[in-house]
Amino acid sequence: MYRLLVVDDEYQTRRGLSELPDWQELNISVVGEASDGDEALELLEQVRPDLLLTDVRMHRMDGLELAHRARELFPGLGIIFISGYSDAEYLQNALRIGASDYIYKPIHLDELKKAVRKLTTQMDQLSEMHALVENSKPLLAERFLRSWFFGQLEDKQFIRSKLQLLGLHFPEAPGIFAAAFFPAWETFPQSGAAEKAQIQLEEIIRTGMKNILTCAEDTGVLALLSAADGLRPGETENLLKAIGAEAEQVLQIPMMIGISSRHEDWLDAPIAVREAMQTIARQVFPEEHNVLHYEPETTDILPSFYHLDGDLLERYLISGNLEMLQQTVDEAFHEGSQNLLIMRKIAMSIMLRVDLALNRQEIDSLDSLAFCRQAMSAHSRNSIKNSLHELLREACSMIQSRSEQAYSPAVMRIMEMIQSNYAEHLSVNSMAEQVHYSPAHLSTLFKKDTGMTLSEAILRTRIKAAMDLLRTTLEPVSAIASKVGYADVQYFSRAFKQFTGYTPLEYRRKVLP
């Protein structure tokens, strides 16, 4: 129900307006009355009306001055002026102030009701619009922060105004850090619980820190922290650990947290975010401590004594020379130390080169993640080496099986077409036209030769391309999705998980050194 304040210096008029029986019908409650502008101003703070029905010409303070000062206190106040004078100047000033209507004395009830209904309808619509904007703010904030964090905004004034518009507080004092919060891949929840867990994680982070902005990314949360409180990465670590511990307790998911180096300017936010994400991406498996600090990338990933001749290894693999492959592995491990971490890195580099060779032969990738789990859980050099021997044996078998297959010329052409154009829209009809087959005939032949449907072949090609980009670049998941033919990053993530069993970021964390 709307609250109405009636103001008129004529007692009879004021009382008559206040006691109208029609207010209930109009969803109006009269909460006060005043004889002039000064008295009305005193009442405003007490009764806090939604509507002001006021005479224009009154002693001391007139209705125009009252309306002007009332609007300063309550910008959303609805105003209807009443007057016994047909004064064009007053009418113009009333409209300039933003009055909803202007009616003349003697007041006709129908005219008053019409003016009030018009005003309350406008206020209802405005209220609905405000509610819609407020409800949309989280989504708008998410989109804005993603644009900022991933380098699409370079105007500081625009960033400042958007923060203010969306009600996001972030100090402009020098010094920012970025943090990336992601669940450890080994215990990541199934898809039904993942989205809920991500929302809860974001709430925990916002509650745990001041001066922070957050947005969701893949399965985790990215955060921008201000150094306004004098915090440095080392000083922030305990606070982040506490947040991680609370998240683990609430979500029952082990957390990994990456922190960027300090940057001085808002416009460096994309660099800070990239550093935090790189810190997480480089951790194939969680370390003993769950808060990881950014370190500049170096090429010294493997020990100086180790050199893998990738081209030679690939030639052995294509020719099916298992003996020489295993000898190459044995030589690499023979030169190594007893340091299991180094041995694991050597195993990972060999596995990635084998996987690359298979991709070049258009052969399904190995179960690389299963190998990673096996190798990283091994407690001796021999067990890691034996895992690699088995991996190479499987790869040789796949090469041999692939070479024994014979595709028809039409299917070979379709395979080449998919490989060359997977990022574009491909349909059965358009591909059938290229080989002069009917769509039904092509689908049957393709399935017979390859054991896959055309849709499955397109999916496998796109996901394999995405896997390669996730292994070899640090581009955002959204950019990779676009490069392999997916406009909707959520749909891409679902397709990727359907094909690999992992989300894109989980896969990246497992394969990057």
pLDDT at residue 412 above 80? yes
- For residue 103, give both structure tokens: 């009616």
The fraction of the chain above a pLDDT of 90, given in percent, is: 6
Q: Which residues contact 445 (CB under 8 A, 6 or more apart)?
A: 408, 410, 411, 437
Given this model, what pLDDT does residue 304 score?
Answer: 45
Q: How confident is the model at residue 16 (pLDDT cuts 50, 70, 90)?
A: confident
- For residue 249, give both structure tokens: 């307790």
Kindly report, residue by residue over 399-408, the tens digit of the pLDDT.
767 654 657 8
pLDDT at residue 285 above 70? no
Given this model, what pLDDT does residue 101 score?
Answer: 74
* DSSP alpha helix (H) spans, 425-512: 428-435, 439-450, 454-472, 477-483, 489-500, 504-511
Helix axes 368-376, 340-360, angle to 10 degrees: 170
Q: What is the mean pLDDT of residues 418-432?
A: 89
The fraction of the chain above a pLDDT of 70, given in percent, is: 77
- For residue 499, give both structure tokens: 């094909």
- For residue 145, give both structure tokens: 């922060």
Q: How confident is the model at residue 186 (pLDDT cuts 50, 70, 90)?
A: very low
Q: What is the mean pLDDT of residues 280-297?
A: 62
Given this model, what pLDDT does residue 512 score?
Answer: 64
pLDDT at residue 276 above 50? yes
Q: Which residues contact 311 (CB under 8 A, 6 or more apart)?
A: none
Q: Which of 228-237, 304-313, 466-475 has the highest mean pLDDT?
A: 466-475
Q: CA 32 to CA 18: how far, in whole Å?
A: 8
Contact between residue 84 and residue 58 where contact means Cβ atoms under 8 Å apart:
no
Given this model, what pLDDT does residue 391 score?
Answer: 83
- Of 41 and 348, more confident: 41
Q: How confident is the model at residue 319 (pLDDT cuts 50, 70, 90)?
A: low
Given this model, what pLDDT does residue 305 score?
Answer: 45
What is the CATH architecture assignment of 2-126? 3-Layer(aba) Sandwich (3.40)
Q: How confident is the model at residue 249 (pLDDT cuts 50, 70, 90)?
A: confident
Q: CA 272 to CA 275: how far, in whole Å?
A: 5
Backbone angles phi, psi at 459, to 5 degrees: -60, -50
pLDDT at residue 190 above 70? no
Q: Please return the burial class of 429, using the count of CB atoms within 10 Å of its CB with bins 0-12, 13-18 and 19+.
A: exposed
In the sheet with 51-55, reading across from the earlier edge strand, the strands are 28-34, 2-7, 51-55, 78-83, 101-104
Given this model, what pLDDT does residue 481 score?
Answer: 92
- Per-residue burial over 62-72, b if 16 or more Cβ lie within 10 Å, else e, is bbbebbbebee
Q: Where are the domains of the chain?
A: 2-126, 150-293, 310-404, 409-511
pLDDT at residue 320 above 60? yes
CATH code of 150-293, in short, is: 3.30.70.270
Q: CA 265 to CA 178: how far, in whole Å?
A: 12
Q: How confident is the model at residue 299 (pLDDT cuts 50, 70, 90)?
A: very low
- Of 379 and 125, more confident: 125
The backbone region for 246, taken as left when phi is positive above 0, alpha when psi lies in -120 to 50, beta otherwise, is: alpha
- For residue 144, give both structure tokens: 């804005």
Q: CA 78 to CA 75: how far, in whole Å?
A: 9
Please state the separation of Cα 308 from the chain's center in Å.
Answer: 39
Q: What is the mean pLDDT of residues 371-393?
A: 73
Vertex 444: Cα angle to 438 and 450 (nearest 5): 125
Q: CA 455 to CA 466: how far, in whole Å?
A: 16
Q: Which residues contact 69 (CB under 8 A, 6 or more apart)?
A: 37, 41
pLDDT at residue 215 above 50? yes
Q: CA 44 to CA 403: how far, in whole Å?
A: 87
Q: What is the mean pLDDT of residues 279-296?
A: 64
Q: What is the mean pLDDT of residues 146-162?
A: 86
Which one, of 219, 242, 235, 288, lies nearest residue 494 by Cα?
A: 219
Given this model, what pLDDT does residue 287 score?
Answer: 47
Q: How confident is the model at residue 355 (pLDDT cuts 50, 70, 90)?
A: confident
Q: How confident is the model at residue 365 (pLDDT cuts 50, 70, 90)?
A: low
3-state secondary structure of 326: helix
Backbone angles phi, psi at 31, to 5 degrees: -105, -5
Contact between residue 246 and residue 225 where contact means Cβ atoms under 8 Å apart:
no
Q: CA 227 to CA 355: how far, in whole Å?
A: 43
Q: What is the mean pLDDT of residues 457-461?
A: 85
Round the average pLDDT of the chain to a whole number and report it.
79
Given this model, what pLDDT does residue 99 score?
Answer: 66
Q: How confident is the model at residue 198 (pLDDT cuts 50, 70, 90)?
A: confident
Given this model, what pLDDT does residue 289 score?
Answer: 45
Q: What is the mean pLDDT of residues 409-413?
A: 85
pLDDT at residue 203 above 70? yes
pLDDT at residue 191 above 60? no
Given this model, what pLDDT does residue 361 score?
Answer: 67
Which one, of 179, 345, 178, lies nearest residue 255 by Cα?
A: 179
- Domain 409-511: state its class: mainly alpha
Given this model, what pLDDT does residue 345 score?
Answer: 72
Given this model, what pLDDT does residue 17 score?
Answer: 87
Given this model, what pLDDT does residue 230 score?
Answer: 63
